[in-house]
Amino acid sequence: MSDEAKPLRTFKLTVAYNGSRYSGWQWQPGETLSVQRQIETAIHQIIGEEVRVAGSGRTDAGVHAFGQVASFSTNRWNAPADRWVRAFNCFLPKDIVVRRAEEAALRFHAIRDSVGKLYRYTIRNSRVVDPHLAHLQWCVHRTLDVEAMRAAAQRLVGTHDFASLQGQGSPRYNTVRTIHTLEIQATDVWEGRVIEINVCANGFLYNMVRNIVGTLVEVGHGKHPPEWIDELLAKRDRSSAGQTAPAAGLCLMEVLY
C-alpha cells in the first residue's frame, strides 16, 4: 500500500514549553530556535515527513506556554493518536512537552477554529527576586496596591477598542476585542507576594497582555487612579498606556475552541 493510499488524519496537540531559550513560537527566516520548528523537526524524526504545524497563535521570545494548541495533518500515522505523546517526548528537548495528542476533525485548524485564549501573567512583588523561578516571573520591587489594580482591571472587562494597548510591530485594522474575565490573585510567599493576573478574551492584539500588565502596575504604584483606564481606552494611543511588561512573566494557559 503506498503512502497516498492511507487516510489523511489531523491531530491536535496540547503543548507546554519554557520559552526562555526560544525566539518564540513561530519560525521566521534568520531565527535560530523556534518552538514550532522543534516540533516540526520531531515529526520529521518520527515519521520521516516534512509537515507544517499550525499554532493557535505566536508567542514571543521568552514567553511560556502551558496549553498552546497546535495542529497538523499526515497520512503516515496508523497508531492511536495518544501514541504521539511518547514519540514526541522522546525527540523533543526537555523544555518542550506534548501534554496531549488527540484526533481532530480533518479540517480542524489551531488558528482559524480558536474562539478565545487564557493567558496568565505572574508578578513577584518583593524586594528580592526568586532565583528558582526568575524565568517565570516579573519581579516588581515597590509594593503594589492589588485592590486598585483589581478596580482598574474591571474597567478593561467587556468589549472595547484596545488600540491603546496594542504593541507596535503587528498592527491590526480592527482593534476591538472582548475581555471575558480579568482576575487578579495575590498569594503570600517568602519575602513578598506572588500576584497572578489571569486574562481570558476572544482574541488579543500584539503584546496586549504585557501592555495591560504594565498599565495595571502603574495603577498599583498609585501613578494613576483606576478611572484612568477609561481615559486611556478612549485615547486609542499606545503612548498613553504603561510600559510593556517583560516576556518572562507571560504564559499561554489555554486555547478555547
d(CA 91, CA 86): 9
What are the beta bridge partners of residue 97?
16
Rounded least distance, CB 37 to a second copy, Å: 16
Rounded least distance, CB 220 to a second copy, Å: 21
Whether 60 is catalytic is yes
Whichever of 30 and 131 has its CB closer to a second copy, that residue is: 131
Whichever of 66 and 206 has its CB closer to a second copy, that residue is: 66
Q: Which one is catalytic: 3, 60, 82, 161? A: 60
Rounded least distance, CB 165 to a second copy, Å: 26
Which residues make up the interface to a second copy (CB under 8 A)?
A: 16-18, 64, 66, 85-86, 89, 94-99, 127-132, 134-136, 190-191, 251
Number of other residues whose CB lies within 10 A of the CB of residue 96: 22
Whichever of 92 and 213 has its CB closer to a second copy, that residue is: 92
Cβ–Cβ < 8 Å for 191, 177: no
Whichever of 154 and 198 has its CB closer to a second copy, that residue is: 198
Rounded least distance, CB 199 to a second copy, Å: 19
What are the beta bridge partners of residue 12?
71, 102
Whichever of 61 and 157 has its CB closer to a second copy, that residue is: 61
Three state DSSP letters for the chain: CCHHHCCCEEEEEEEEECHHHCCECCCCCCCCCCHHHHHHHHHHHHHCCCCCCEECCCCECCCEEEEEEEEEEECCCCCCCCHHHHHHHHHCCCCEEEEEEEEECCCCCCCCCCCEEEEEEEEEEECCCCCCCHHHCEEECCCCCHHHHHHHHHCCCEEEECHHHCCCCCCCCCCEEEEEEEEEEEEEECCEEEEEEEEEECCCCCCHHHHHHHHHHHHHCCCCCCCHHHHHHHHCCHHHCCCCCCHHHEEEEEEEC
Rounded least distance, CB 153 to a second copy, Å: 25
Q: Which residues are marked as active site?
A: 60
